[in-house]
Structure 1
Amino acid sequence: MKNTKTALVAADSETIRSFLTKVLETGGYTVITAADGLEVLKLLYTTKPDCVVAYAHLPVLNGFNLSRIIKNTKKLADIAVIICVTEVSTVSQFWGDNVLCNALYVLGRDAPEQLCGLADKAVGSGRQSQCSAQTSGISDDGRSAALYGMPDAVSQNAPDAASLIELTAGAYESELFTHYVMAAAYEAGVQAFSLDGLVQRMVRCLSGVCSYHALAVIVNDDDVIEYLDVAPSLGVQETADFRQVCKADFAANAAEHREEWQTCRIAESCIIPPEEHGRLKSYEYFVLAGDDFAGTMHVASCSPDAFDERCHDRLVFFTTVFSRLLEAAVHYRRTKRAEKRTRLAFSRFV
């Protein structure tokens, strides 16, 4: 545990930097300064301050971005973060809560000594949580340092670009995933003009979401569309068993939603799932929720812990997004068929 307190002040304005530095030095802090967000990330690798005081409009990575990265990185999460703003608004308060910063300090309004009070309170809270974690069974053999992100001896080497990208991407992983799926869904909705094509684009997008050894998508409109994607390492019998399991689960869900899924062509009584799954140790299936069609997505892996809670949540979001597209594709398909039947019916009178 460090006896002295260290603060990292980040602002592109020399005036603001000097003001914050003097205030914190008066409060007993050793101050390190940075002029942009990237410089802050580099300093976090070479020294671990107790507190980061960042200007909201910091270049490259602003104060809110830095707070998000720090608080979502396990090895940095106990560092206190105070964001300096020029005024308090509902927007700044919302983003402050969203990025989990410890406090907002209003330049020009709040008294200088108030900054030290906020810093002391935030640092004390961070040290208390770190102490609690270390006394809850974590030995002092380097694992506690790894948990809080810094090795026993602080590295003096500047991080490479890959490390900084990994650090930033890790904090924004959820947002990046959401944008990836939504972009892929939009592209599929614009470019896929058939139900078969939409299912194929859905599977292509899924390959960037999670790792699997077997995948099946079953969509039942007037006919059954079954899309299967299986790793070459799986045998013929394992593939056949996987298909049987998928069809059984599809039929079971169709039975539960019989009123909504009136188009189901797979009878549950005709399917007997195999007792053994072979090398496939993990299996999940998700209902493609549609009011007018039956659909399920099935994923399996040879790894016993392939689908953890985070992966499960991702797949739920994924199927929710693509369900709406599939429903629209089914509706369009039925409309075109109805139009064709109407034209044929009236053609006899022309």
Structure 2
Amino acid sequence: MKVLIADDSPVLVTALRKLLEQSGYEVVAAMDGLEAVQCFYQENPDLVLLDIQMPKLHGYVVCRLLKEDPASRHIPVLILTGRDSAEDRYWGNRSGADGYLTKESMGDELLDAIQSALASRALSDMGRVEPLPQSLDESDVLSRVCEVLDRKLFEATIVNDIVGVGVRAMDLEATVAEALNIIRRILDFEAGAVVLPNERRLVVRFEKAISEGDFDEFRSLSALRCRQFTTADVTIDDLSVSFTPGFDESEMIDSASGIEDKGWPSFAVAPLWSRGEVVGVLVLGSRREGAFSDATDRTLRTIEPHVASVVDSARHYQKLLEQEARSSLSSLFE
């Protein structure tokens, strides 16, 4: 097993190298953040020990670069630093690090953390192909930094728009419609929906007219994905369908022979977690092969908690409206 040590202290690197080599690890070292990224892609280590405060590139930036790359995000990164404030630990977690250790943890505690991280990696590495070494110069690394910063700004903008939906009191269909409108700006899909397992309900919108057969298949796939993420035994037969406002079912779902069945070769899914449970499942479908990619999955992971929050709020708001309506009806007969 190969470990990359990224730290600008030659004394600490020497001590770590001795400790790890005595424990059977192969060690490579980098003395600054830029060299750490270059060394990572050249050497393909099994684990990274990363300092925070380094020349050229901050440790948090290095960690974020590695964790944003689908080819390297599975490699454990343990932050090993002399800084131990709550703020530092928070940013370590937010940068994607797999663990946070202080430099007082040298010795058995560090070795245990390395073994634990490598064991966790082994469980997710089944069938994974080892990437080829890459030679990156300084401009290549800085270009990747700029890409990550651009993407983070882009994601923050979308998240802000989604959070804005939650501050407006709307019923469930209107909330889902607003959320899907925002998601549609960044992801190209032909069908979008939220499955609500507790209510056994599918709130859906289509971007193009589809066949009745494709409509039924979309419902079936949505019910299947819902069962995968929840304990609710939702089937196509008991999944009621409601459409987002402005949707004309008679125009969008063709029951005649004018539109052929194409199926949904591309299907993206994100469970919506709120208050410790899956309150819904976001499903996106495209009839184009290969419409969704690793970037799609990354975007869905970013927006999922915020979509979950606004959908859960809309669910509770809808229940309040229904309770008030029932209460008003009851008062008429008193």
Q: What TM-score results when the alignment is normalised by the length of structure 2?
A: 0.50
In the alignment, is residue 150 of structure 1 matched against residue 133 of structure 2?
Answer: yes
Distance in 1, Cα, partners of 2:306 & 2:50: 36
Distance in 2, Cα, partners of 1:212 & 1:21: 49
Root-mean-square deviation over aligned CA pairs:
6.4
- 1:84 maps to which residue? 81
- Cα distance, 1:201 vs structure 2: 0.7
In the alignment, is residue 55 of structure 1 matched against residue 51 of structure 2?
Answer: yes
1:194-343 to 2 correspondences below 5 Å: 194-207=171-184, 210-215=187-192, 228-231=205-208, 236=209, 238-243=210-215, 253=235, 256=238, 278-282=261-265, 299-304=284-289, 311=297, 320-334=308-322, 337=325
Counterpart of 2:139 in 1: which secondary structure?
A: coil
* Contact 2:266 2:288 (8 Å CA) reproduced: no
Distance in 1, Cα, partners of 2:5 & 2:202: 60
Alignment counterpart, residue 70 of structure 1, candidates 66, 82, 86: 66
* Contact 2:266 2:287 (8 Å CA) reproduced: no
Distance in 1, Cα, partners of 2:10 & 2:222: 66
Distance 1:148 1:155, change over 3 A: same
Show CA shifts across 1:314-338 (max 9, x none). 5986875454133123224335645
- 2:24 maps to which residue? none
Show CA shifts across 1:278-299 (max 9, x none). 223337699999xxxxx99764
1:148 partner letter = P
Show CA shifts across 1:95-134 (max 9, x none). 68x7235x84625x85xxx59xx79x979x99xx99xx9x
* Contact 2:162 2:307 (8 Å CA) reproduced: no
- Cα distance, 1:245 vs structure 2: 5.1
Q: Which runs of 5+ in 1 are unaligned?
A: 11-16, 139-143, 259-270, 290-294
2:31 partner letter = T
1:152-191 to 2 correspondences below 5 Å: 154-159=135-140, 161-166=142-147, 183-191=160-168
Distance in 2, Cα, partners of 1:286 & 1:33: 40
- 1:99 maps to which residue? 97
Alignment counterpart, residue 20 of structure 1, candidates 12, 28, 33: 12
1:150 partner letter = P
* Contact 1:282 1:307 (8 Å CA) reproduced: no
Distance 1:122 1:207, change over 3 A: same
Distance in 2, Cα, partners of 1:137 & 1:200: 39
* Contact 2:194 2:281 (8 Å CA) reproduced: yes
* Contact 1:281 1:303 (8 Å CA) reproduced: yes
Show CA shifts across 1:299-321 (max 9, x none). 43113455689859859868754
* Contact 1:45 1:158 (8 Å CA) reproduced: no
- Cα distance, 1:203 vs structure 2: 1.4
Counterpart of 2:167 in 1: which secondary structure?
A: helix
Distance in 1, Cα, partners of 2:222 & 2:29: 62
- Cα distance, 1:159 vs structure 2: 1.7
- Cα distance, 1:204 vs structure 2: 1.5
Distance in 1, Cα, partners of 2:147 & 2:114: 27
Show CA shifts across 1:169-225 (max 9, x none). 89x9xxx97x78865553212125345532321211332575322335699xxxx99
Distance 1:41 1:329, change over 3 A: farther
Give 1 or 2 for the bigger CA radius of gyration. Answer: 1
Distance 1:158 1:77, change over 3 A: farther
The aligned length equals 278
Seq. identity, %:
12
1:19 partner letter = V
Q: Which runs of 5+ in 2 are unaligned?
A: 22-26, 224-233, 241-252, 274-279
Distance in 1, Cα, partners of 2:17 & 2:195: 65
Distance 1:197 1:31, change over 3 A: closer
Select the structure with the greater relative contact order (CA < 8 A; seq sep ≥ 6).
Answer: 2
